[in-house]
Structure 1
């Protein structure tokens, strides 16, 4: 967790001489070329460096990899040599496995990367020397420096190796009150989280959280370690709850999310507390505990209002609308969804507009308000067309087409039930052209309402009076 200042790299004489001919020769150079280069080097050394020893000549001829290994053994760093040799063997094994599976291996052979070899030599030997003197904090710092150096995506397995070593060493450090141990638990939690082992990750994050409680330790960016522990635990608990919900283990998911909510409150971060309430509310919704879900989600919406976070507020309103829709309270659900559309448009969140508009269209379509359904489905379709997101375009196009078909179906039914020559002419004309059919005119009080008259209702009448069971049979 702590960024160390760059240390001056020291190299023994053999390594320094070897680095003068970097980069190291690849193993694919033809033998004839190697012989010629050897003769050239011999001649150059004989003319210019008559005083060099055999070891110095060997250092100039050998690869960087071999020189570093020789230096480690010669200087008595046998543990460092053993560890480096094991890492190099694994490196080669991974490269060979990728070749067998016909995969593209991004990494060059280690002997062709002298900078990495140099870091291995520098920090491993310093760590071994510190361990002999039982300076375990220096051991940790050098191993952690290697973990940070190999943090890029293709070298993560090297990083993980040193995270594990840091964890073992950190438990032997007693002079810092447990800070290094807490950081090591955080690193191990990240390691297991990336590998998908969430239970193991949660165990390490819980230890990280416990060690940082009541402490004012900060990381290199100035953030409190306890807050980072809370965030890490919340993230892991949420991932665990997602798996539980997929398996319909609702009680377990709610239990772990309640625990996450308590930890979020402890972190004194309102945004984090709101996030925890959001996921807990969704879990109660999945378990069909609607009243509890509404209570929790209303807490999330209040926090979002206090923080003036429109995006979170839109997400809260959408979740509340889902709960109300599940309860059959469609007018209330519509109110919240319209707020979601407004917030999303004001914040240029096009996908949120699409999602909320589609939900509105579904509600109106289900209740027989086909004009309104068509209006919202068209809004969703037009938005996806602007985004040029083909997957969403196809989906919204289907919804829009269904709503339009319902409109035409109801109009045609009205003409058929009219049983007069004018209606028959309209039907025959539509059948020949397959174009838009004119709305049915209202003739007399007993005639069924047309589509246009059916939907010429006040904007909020649905919210005030509720939906009828079947608008098509209304007279």
Structure 2
């Protein structure tokens, strides 16, 4: 509300009326009124209500030079009305203005009495700086990220308050929120820090018979696993497994903690087995797979049980123990049928076929391989179909069944080309060619033994597959004798063309050599 001060001061009884409604002391008002009356021509008064102040309708006076023009006065009134809507800064806010966010945050924590929270945040900032100075890797500093510092401050204040109140479960949950919040790769170090502090606080929780302590071990193990420290992670998961044994504890999703521990152990045991297999330590790999098999049954997950049985069967297959391998792989086949898992059924059939191949039972081996082909073809598993055709072609090739070998290798080769599977394309191409050559070899030998010189010369000239076109010869009958070739002039020209081109190229080479020799003499 803007008033002309000169006219307003002259109003009768205005001082008494204003003092009655003003929150200012009477002496201050009289002093201000005298000042206004002396400079009335150059002053205006702004009456502002401060919502942040406990005293309502408090008066504030501001020295402003009133413009002479009407438009200027309206513009000034508009500016001042907008300015009046801005919040009034407190003394604390004014003191912190211009200082860094880190300084303001630390000041706020210390003034509120959260000394442990301040100490932890300060140490985290210094730890990051030290790590950057050692590695030389440029990353955004924690002290410059207001959002992260705010969430850390809030949760640490809550955790410290809970510790003071001896509510350690709430303190654990506050720190767990931070551990789960920082889930990106660049913030992994913060997550690891808060998981470690969760484990420290969980030791103090005595209201749930050790459930919080067990959960903290699980969280710490998962953090170690993400960092690649598998042996330490496996050790902590085994402690988690022991702590939850015989308990009916469940997590927030209703999953039994002991089953969860078994599932995590199955995963890490399987991973360790694959690592041992890569390093050619078959004995240790089999040991870890046996432990994974046990934990998978305790986890009660049908898919994990099937995978554990399959991997164990393949391990026994690699150890040249086909009988035990067949037993496990047939169990895997039954589980895959119950789950309608076509890929699992195909892998089981392929494994059983390999086991019977080791035993020397080729008929059973081929029957399981044909089962693998049928399963892959019916369910549209192109990659599996290519593998099945390749394996079946290999068996037929070893048994000298070259006709069938060519058929299966041809399918495997064409699928590999369609899928652009470079890994298997080369092997399929080579074996397809070898099978074709052996298929042709039967009739070729017969033509050599007859002898059929003209037919052999014709094949030698044109490299056609004429020797595999005679069905009687393939069945063991007499080979078809190819009549002698009548050499025409056109064929003579065709046979001369290569030699003429070679002679011409030789002449050009000799001519270039003579030129180089002459140039060398001239240079001398």
Relative to structure 1, the CA distance from residue 258 to residue 426 in structure 2 (aligned partners, 3 Å threshold; closer, same or farther) is same
* Count of aligned pairs between the two proteins: 399
Give the direction of change, closer, same or farther, for the CA distance of 1:445–1:183 in structure 2 (3 Å limit). closer
Residues 278 and 296 of structure 1 are in contact (CA less than 8 Å); yes or no, is this contact kept in structure 2? yes
Kindly provide the CA deviation profile for residues 209-263 of structure 1, in whole angstroms up to 9, marking residues without a partner as x: 2233343433333333222211111111112222333444444433333333233
Q: Which has the larger radius of gyration?
A: 2
Q: Deviations over 1:403-442 (max 9, x none)?
A: 333334444333223313xxx3332222222233332644
Structure 1 contact 414–440 (Cα < 8 Å) conserved: no
Corresponding position of 1:71:
108
Give 3-state SS (helix, strand or coil) of 2:430's partner. Answer: helix
- After TM superposition, the structure 1 stretch with the greater mean CA deviation from structure 2, 139-148 or 262-271, is 262-271
Give the Å deviation of 1:148.
Answer: 0.8
Residues 1:362 and 2:394 aligned together: yes
Out of 48, 51, 60, the position equivalent to 2:97 is 60
Displacement of 1:51 in angstroms is 5.9
Q: What RMSD over aligned residues (CA atoms) do the two structures have, in Å?
A: 3.2
1:166 aligned residue (189, 198, 209): 198
Q: Distance in 1 between matches of 2:441 and 2:217?
A: 64
Q: What is the TM-score normalised by the length of structure 2?
A: 0.68
SS of corresponding position for 2:396: helix
Question: For 1:200, which of 196, 218, 232 is the aligned residue?
Answer: 232
Distance 2:124 2:443 in 1: 75
3-state SS of 1:154 partner: coil
Structure 1 counterpart SS, 2:249: coil
Matched residue, 2:363? 331
Aligned residues of 1:131 and 1:139 also touching (Cα < 8 A): yes
Answer yes or no: is the 8 Å Cα contact 2:114–2:160 preserved in 1: yes
8 Å CA contact retained: 2:447, 2:479 = no
Partner Cα separation in structure 2 for residue 431 and residue 288 of structure 1: 46
Contact in 2 for aligned 1:171/1:181 (Cα 8 Å): yes
Q: Say if 1:257 and 1:388 are closer, same or farther in 2 by CA, change over 3 A.
A: closer
* SS of equivalent residue, structure 1 residue 438: helix
Is 2:346 aligned against 1:314?
A: yes
- In structure 1, what is the Cα distance between the partners aligned to 2:112 and 2:459? 95
Match of 2:385 in 1: 353
Matches within 5 A, 1:21-170: 52-53=90-91, 55-93=92-130, 108-170=140-202
User: Per the alignment, do residues 444 and 200 of structure 1 end up closer, same or farther by CA in structure 2, a change over 3 Å counting?
Assistant: closer
Q: How much has 1:443 moved relative to structure 2?
A: 6.9
CA drift at 1:268: 3.1
Per the alignment, do residues 168 and 341 of structure 1 end up closer, same or farther by CA in structure 2, a change over 3 Å counting?
A: farther
Which position in structure 2 is the counterpart of 1:277?
A: 309
1:286 lines up with 2:318 in the alignment: yes
Q: 1:262 to 1:98 in 2, by over 3 A?
A: same
By how many angstroms is 1:292 displaced? 1.3
Q: Which digits, 9 at most, give the CA deviation of each residue in 1:165-203, with x for residues without a partner?
A: 112222221211222222222212212222333332222
Q: Is the 8 A contact 2:199 2:220 kept in 1?
A: yes
Single out whichever of 425-434 and 121-130 deviates more from structure 2.
425-434
**2:409 aligned residue:** 377
Q: Structure 1 residues 324, 444: closer, same or farther in 2, change over 3 A?
A: closer
Counterpart contact for 1:245–1:283, Cα < 8 Å: no
For 1:298, the equivalent position in structure 2 comes to: 330
- The separation in 2 between residues aligned to 1:447 and 1:229, in whole angstroms, is 69
Instruction: State the 1:312 CA deviation.
Output: 1.9
- Residue 404 of structure 1: which of 420, 429, 436 is its match? 436
Whole-angstrom distance in 1 between the partners of 2:222 and 2:315: 25
Cα distance in 2, alignment partners of residues 355 and 271 from structure 1: 23
How far apart are residue 84 of structure 1 and its match?
1.9
Answering whether residue 446 of structure 2 is matched by residue 437 of structure 1, we say no
Deviation (angstroms), 1:145 = 0.1
SS of aligned partner of 1:337: helix
More deviation in 345-354 or 291-300? 345-354
